[in-house]
Amino acid sequence: MKFKTLCVLGMGYIGLPTASVFASKGLQVTGMDTNARIIEGLKAGHLHIFEPGLRDLLLEAVNSGRLQISDEVLPADAFIIAVPTPFYQDKRADLRAVVAASESIVPHLRPGNLVILESTSPPRTTVDIVAPILEKSGLTAGEDFLLAYSPERVLPGKILHELVDNPRVIGGIDPTSAEAGRDLYRAFVKGDIILTDATTAEMVKLMENTSRDINIAIANEFSRLAEAFDVDIWEAIGIANLHPRVDILRPGVGVGGHCISVDPWFLVEAAPQVAQLVKMARQVNDGQPSFVAEHIAKIAGEIDGKTIAFLGLAFKPNVDDVRESPAVELVYALQDAGATVHAYEPFKPAAGLPNVHQVAHLEDALVDADLIVLGVAHDRFTELDPANVRGQTRANLVYDAVRAWDKDLWENAGFQFFGLSRKY
């Protein structure tokens, strides 16, 4: 099948690059979002997210006339839903954006159209929720229009590369829908395209992120055991990973972002009696910021009344996304223990996080600090020269929660150096 026009619903971390890449391959694309501020910004060439290479690609797509930014759905041969699926307070999936996006397609749906859901969703969402909404158009899924689920699987920070090169899974509600999805994504996907059914594709996506969450949880639990037994966790992991069938991931301040810290809960919600290990891993990772805060307090003797320069608030290195960030949770835990925290995040100097005192420059964080905590291994921080930092702060103590700094360099610059379950 040949698709000439496309409407992408949701101009976030996935929808915006996807729309831009399709436009760069010659499709006529509408990039739609319900957030007026985002739409106005994009029309003026301002991106609300940071992703390497995205700005140039977007500007090229808009200037070529092949990408039109819009606040409403426009008719097209194919529609892609790429809206967020967060969770409610009680960890149940919040599908309101998927439902609203599906409803907004209904008036524009024509025979022969293809609709793809990309948003990470609980098993059966495509079949049980999206299909019935689209059928309010009077058309029947699989007969009059095509419907598939194709999960995004790209890594923030490497989105443009992974969008093109990763294998792509397309799960149709029937084989014809899956094949139509393959014809659409073949416009830019260089990786293998694997066809399956919609519910398998939904499950695959959740299994991928859940398996990573569980693997990070065991690394975090090992860091606590190492602390209890006075073992250097990094040395132990290094040795264990020499085994040909062992590959332990990195312990840290916890697991964040809008994917891995959210998606496993969709399986817990769907089958709470079965998904016991999944739930336990989530709880271990969610508890890691408290563990790190307690470790910092133990090392510093007392943090009540101390001022901490806290470096990095993003959920992982070299991204600007602070959603579900464990570094932010660590800030809250340190504040709960009585510390005053001056947080610096170079990718988002004013993230507007409630009860977080953010400073605009690194120097502002360092100047009054008693203690420096590294929460995220941004390149900007790993490249810091400890000798320079020495001249900007009265702090004597450094805590590297993510093992990004060289202990000797910091000690040579006159700091006492500590980190997550490291031996000194």
Binding mask 215-254 for ligand SAJ (x = CB under 6 A): -x--------------------------------xx-x--
The whole-angstrom separation of Cα 419 and Cα 423 is: 8
Of the candidates 102, 173, 107, the residue with the CA atom closest to the CA atom of residue 138: 107
Of the candidates 127, 115, 30, the residue with the CA atom closest to the CA atom of residue 81: 115
Out of 61, 255, 333, 371, the residue judged to bind ligand SAJ by CB under 6 A: 255
Catalytic residue among 205, 306, 316, 407: 205
Exposure on the CB side of residue 391, measured as CA atoms within 13 A: 4
Q: How far is the CB of 392 from ligand SAJ (least distance, A)?
A: 27
Comparing every residue's Cβ against ligand SAJ, the nearest one is 259
The whole-angstrom separation of Cα 1 and Cα 361 is: 53
Binding mask 106-135 for ligand SAJ (x = CB under 6 A): --------------x---------------
Q: Which stretch binds ligand SAJ (CB under 6 A): 141-149, 151-159, 334-342, 361-369?
A: 151-159
Question: Where in 156-175 is the site for ligand SAJ (CB under 6 A)?
Answer: 156
Out of 38, 134, 147, 153, the residue judged to bind ligand SAJ by CB under 6 A: 153
The whole-angstrom separation of Cα 254 and Cα 286 is: 6
Helix or strand run (H / E) with residue 169: strand 168-172
Strands (E), 23-88: 28-32, 67-70, 78-81
Whether 205 is a known active-site residue: answer yes
Q: Apex CA 337: angle with CA 219 and CA 281, to 5°? A: 25
Catalytic residue among 4, 43, 259, 316: 259
Q: How far is the CB of 212 from ligand SAJ (least distance, A)?
A: 4
Q: Token pair of 380, please?
A: 């900007």
Classified as helix, coil or strand, 198 is helix
Question: What sign results for the dihedral spanned by CA atoms 379, 381, 382, 385?
Answer: positive
Question: Where in 192-211 is the site for ligand SAJ (CB under 6 A)?
Answer: 208-209
DSSP 211-253: HHHHHHHHHHHHHHHHHHHT--HHHHHHHHTTSTT-------S
Measured from the CB atom, the residue of 255 and 284 that comes closer to ligand SAJ is: 255
155 makes contact with ligand SAJ (CB under 6 A): yes
Whether 279 is a known active-site residue: answer no
256 makes contact with ligand SAJ (CB under 6 A): yes
Position 123, amino acid: P
The whole-angstrom separation of Cα 91 and Cα 270 is: 11
Number of residues that bind ligand SAJ (CB under 6 A): 21
Question: Where in 315-354 is the site for ligand SAJ (CB under 6 A)?
Answer: 315-316, 326
The whole-angstrom separation of Cα 9 and Cα 206 is: 22
Q: How far is the CB of 105 from ligand SAJ (least distance, A)?
A: 22
Out of 9, 21, 32, 154, the residue judged to bind ligand SAJ by CB under 6 A: 154
Q: How far is the CB of 4 from ligand SAJ (least distance, A)?
A: 28
Q: How far is the CB of 262 from ligand SAJ (least distance, A)?
A: 9
Question: Where in 15-44 is the site for ligand SAJ (CB under 6 A)?
Answer: none
Of the candidates 358, 403, 395, 398, the residue with the CA atom closest to the CA atom of residue 377: 403
Measured from the CB atom, the residue of 184 and 284 that comes closer to ligand SAJ is: 284
144 makes contact with ligand SAJ (CB under 6 A): no
Out of 108, 212, 348, 380, the residue judged to bind ligand SAJ by CB under 6 A: 212
Measured from the CB atom, the residue of 182 and 316 that comes closer to ligand SAJ is: 316
Sheet holding 193-197, edge to edge: 67-70, 28-32, 5-9, 78-81, 114-117, 146-149, 168-172, 193-197
Out of 12, 84, 257, 386, the residue judged to bind ligand SAJ by CB under 6 A: 257
Q: How far is the CB of 263 from ligand SAJ (least distance, A)?
A: 6
Q: Tell me how crowded residue 138 is: count the other CB atoms within 10 A of its CB.
A: 8
Binding site residues, ligand SAJ, CB under 6 A: 120, 152-156, 208-209, 212, 216, 249-250, 252, 255-257, 259-260, 315-316, 326
Active site residues: 205, 259
